[in-house]
Structure 1
Amino acid sequence: MNPLQGLAAARAKGKPYGITSVCSAHPLVIQAAVRRAVADDDVVLLIEATCNQVNQFGGYTGMTPDLFVAFVKEIAGREGLPAERIIFGGDHLGPNPWKAEPAGEAMAKAEAMVTAYVWAGFSKIHLDASMGCAGEPAALDDETIAARAARLAKAAEKAARARGGTLPLYIIGTEVPVPGGADHAISDLKPTEAKAARRTIDVHREIFAREGLDEAFGRVIAVVVQPGVEFGSENVVPYKPQASAPLTTLLDQEASLVYEAHSTDYQGRAALTALVANGFPILKVGPGLTFALREALYGLDLVASEMVANYGERPLARAMEKVMLSAPGHWRSHYHGDDRRLYLQRHYSYSDRIRYYWTNPAASVAVARLRDALGGVAIPETLMRQFLPTLPAALGAAGDPEAVLIAAVDLVLADYDAACRPA
């Protein structure tokens, strides 16, 4: 059985388990996640793409849904992971990429996007029509959100039945920042009120029934709420189980549902384990993985600067600064402050907006130059301790920079893996 379908029943039996939702399009992140799945036959890999990242027009990755599936499957095949052990999920699927347009036009594009996702083989669909479009309030009322979600579900159902095979599982709700994350420091964060989550479920159930989608609503497995976890550019709000206790209690009345926890990046193993135990077993992570990758890349950049003749003084970091300044669209509205603070945020922010730039040709050249410089070069234990202290010092001796990068990502995935193990 699809492990997503067993989450609610496992919780009801007092034996909860979780599943890590890897939301990234970076090939090394995907490779690290695939390798962890290969090493454990019990792991089913859940890979997700967001509406801004991947859509019928290419998104910011340049990949349509079918190209994204092919991209992940190519890496999986190379690493020896059978395609049937991968679940593809679509996150925040709705009009967000086109919210500057009138609602009718934005929703038509959202329907086409959902259709493309389902045709490509995505079987976990997060229906998110919460954002206002041109001329509408930024936050819509529950009825409008649910009606638009039902409209998107109809498109998904039609595509799935025409395609054949397994019908989609759905996620509803969206009490989290818009795709891309928070754009400010967060000092006070309250979990979703249980009565608000109750209303989200009830209104969606009612409107889906009205639209003849009872059977589809039966495949709603989770609700996105705010459990009280988030990260801003410079701080992380830790999970406080007692604050989300009313949400956990609500699940006792909805035996077929669990919660999906977004923005769990940087929470740590104990907090992630508590989230799974308290009814939040779908743990989404994205920027936390590419943040760890960037840490390792910059660590290797420092190593090469110290020990490789003619490499230069941190050329990778310098290249990334130039790339981000030349195309500020992905960070300008998210980072704030004077020039020095903006510089620090561009490179070291928890929001990790730098992740949007690794596919830039100049960035790719700089990364390739770094890997070439350190390929076959044994990194002394002392330099590993100095610049990559979270990784085993012996790892550097092999002269394999890719192994170092994947190990950095895997450290993060290991916390999720441990948290998701059956209690």
Structure 2
Amino acid sequence: MNTPVEHNRGVALKKLLGDRVKVLPRGITSVCSAHPLVIETALRRAASDETVALIEATCNQVNQDGSYTGMTPADFRRFVEDAATALGFPIDRIVLGGDHLGPNPWRKLPPEEAMAKAEAMIAAYVEAGFEKIHLDTSMGCAGEPAALADELTAERAAQLARMAEEAALRVGRRPPVYIIGTEVPPPGGATHALDELDVTRPEATKKTLAVHRAAFAKAGVESALGRVIAIVVQPGVEFGNANVALYRPDRAGALIGALDEMPGLLFEAHSTDYQPATALSALVDGGFAILKVGPGLTFALREALYGLDCIASVLAGEARADTLYATMETVMLENPGHWNSHYRGPPEEQRLQRHFSYSDRIRYYWPDERAAATVETLLARFEGDIPETLISQYLGRVYPAVVAKKVLPRARDLCIAAIDAALEPYFAATIA
């Protein structure tokens, strides 16, 4: 007989995945990134493991205004599907999700204006075919406290759900499934040193569900509530600039027990980046069946690119002025908006954080024209195989796979292998 956690997992994942897979997995990995190499790696991993690829865009990456990637939801869908077509990955095995969809990008505006922008964003996501929507209305807008009361958060979530339902009906799409929750870790990680995090209390989770039920009913979208598949809670997992709070199952027992009283629901775990494989498996065992990862993957890519940058200098036999590190430092200093409110301390500490923080705010700068051109120039420096000894010195994450002949010692292959090394434990934890 299935336990309540196993039953909930099966019901919720069936609503999300339908008949796209032969065997329903234990959970699913949610790749939250807009970097082309990360998307390619996620599709390759899903193909290898014969499962779906759940790829999500955040409100700060992709919205109707283009955000920092310059992509609207429709653009992002084409971007992902083009990558899949190039690899021969079936389009019908891709699930697109929208993460932290709410007024966050416009929270400096008055509430009415910010919510109007959020409604337009939700409509754009649903019209573009995004099937999984995280309703995140927990942040205050201009003139409001930073954190809102549960009832107001639920009221605004229901407002956005109504817009999503109307958009799906208008364009003839299947209405999406929803993620709700108020105890959301900061997008991209914490900005302070982490000691021990407070785990969400079971009664807080039950209240979240209760106030959303009431708000959805009041807004006339009870049917949308039936497609809520998960709640975002804090299981004691997070990363900051310099350290990671690891999952401790013993601290989450009471929270996990709350799932027994919420039929058909599971938990979605945010900020699971940098968790060891054992922790990821334990999270899924406990009902945290959706594991979200993003900065940890671009962190692995940045490691690989910086390693290749060092190898290029060694092979050249001289110090180079046109290093990737130097370019990224210039780009970030000239446009500090994506990091200066996240990295604190004296100038030297901020410099280290710009390049090496777990929060990986450098990921916002890869689309910059100078950054992209420098990466392409770097990869073009390597015409053939890279010596294994230099891979051992500068790319330790992938060296064992190179020696085992599982990965070619070529620059682009090494970048993909580095991302995959960070991604593989997630698929291992979630696939049955």
Could you tell me how far apart the structure 1 residues matched to 2:210 and 2:409 are? 57
1:180: Cα distance to partner?
3.1
Alpha-carbon distance change, 246 to 16 in structure 1, aligned in 2, over 3 angstroms: farther
- Asked whether 1:205 is paired with 2:217, we answer no
2:356 is the alignment partner of 1:330: no
- Is the partner of 2:398 in helix, strand or coil? coil
Q: Give CA-to-partner distance per residue, 1:311-350, whole Å, 9 cap, x none.
A: 7267111111111111111111100111211111111000
Partner of 1:140: 148
Secondary structure at the residue paired with 1:187? coil
Where 1:374 maps in the other structure, the secondary structure is coil
Q: What is the CA-CA distance between 1:210 and the residue it aligns to?
A: 2.1
Q: Select 2:59's aligned residue among 36, 51, 54.
A: 51
Within 2, Cα distance between the matches of 1:393 and 1:40?
21
User: 2:361 matched to 1:361?
Assistant: no
Q: Alpha carbons of 1:33 and 1:82: their partners in 2 closer, same or farther (altered >3 Å)? A: same
Q: 1:404 to 1:314 in 2, by over 3 A?
A: farther
CA offsets 1:128-168 (integer angstroms, 9 cap, x no match):
11111111111111111111000000000001112223211
1:65 to partner: Cα distance: 0.3
**1:36 Cα shift?**
1.1
* Cα distance, 1:188 vs structure 2: 2.6
Alpha-carbon distance, 1:2 to partner: 9.9
Is the 2:199–2:236 contact (alpha carbons within 8 Å) kept by the matching residues of 1? Answer: yes
Instruction: Report the residue type matching 1:366 in the other structure.
Output: T
Q: Which of residues 31, 34, 41 in structure 2 aligns to 1:25?
A: 34
Pair 1:283-2:291 in alignment: yes
Residue 388 of structure 1: aligned partner = 395
| Offset of residue 374 of structure 1 | 1.2
Is the Cα contact below 8 Å between 1:55 and 1:113 reproduced in 2?
yes
Q: Distance in 1 between matches of 2:142 and 2:353?
A: 31
Task: Find the aligned partners of 1:303 and 1:156 in 2 and give their Cα distance.
Answer: 49
The verdict on how the C-alpha distance between 1:2 and 1:204 changes in structure 2, with shifts beyond 3 A counting, is closer
2:424 to 403, 414, 418: 414
Aligned-pair identity (%):
57
Which residue in 1 is equivalent to 2:272?
A: 264
1:254-284 per-position Cα deviation (integer Å, ceiling 9, x unaligned) = 1210000000000011000000000101000
- 1:381–1:393 Cα contact (<8 Å) kept: no
Q: Are 1:61 and 2:63 matched, yes or no?
A: no
2:117 is equivalent to residue 109 of structure 1: yes
Partner Cα distance (1:27, 1:334) in 2: 25
Give, in whole Å, the separation in 1 of the partners of 2:140 and 2:301. 34
Instruction: Give the whole-Å Cα distance in 2 for the aligned partners of 1:68 and 1:2.
Output: 29
Give the partner amino acid of 1:94.
Answer: G
Q: How many angstroms apart in 1 are the aligned matches of 2:311 and 2:400?
A: 13
Q: Distance in 2 between matches of 1:27 and 1:199?
A: 39
Compute the TM-score of the two structures, normalised by the length of structure 2: 0.92
1:403 equivalent in alignment to 2:413: yes
Corresponding residue for residue 11 of structure 1:
none
Answer whether contact 1:91 1:125 (CA < 8 A) is retained: yes
Match of 2:20 in 1: none
Match of 1:12 in 2: none
Q: 1:342 aligns with which of 328, 350, 356?
A: 350
The TM-score normalised by the length of structure 1 is 0.94
Letter in 1 for 2:27: G
Where 2:145 maps in the other structure, the secondary structure is: coil
Aligned to 1:186: 194
Q: Tell me whether 1:379 sits opposite 2:382 in the alignment.
A: no
Q: Deviations over 1:324-382 (max 9, x none)?
A: 11111111110011121111111100000000011111111111111011132x22221
The letter for the 2-side match of 1:392 is Y
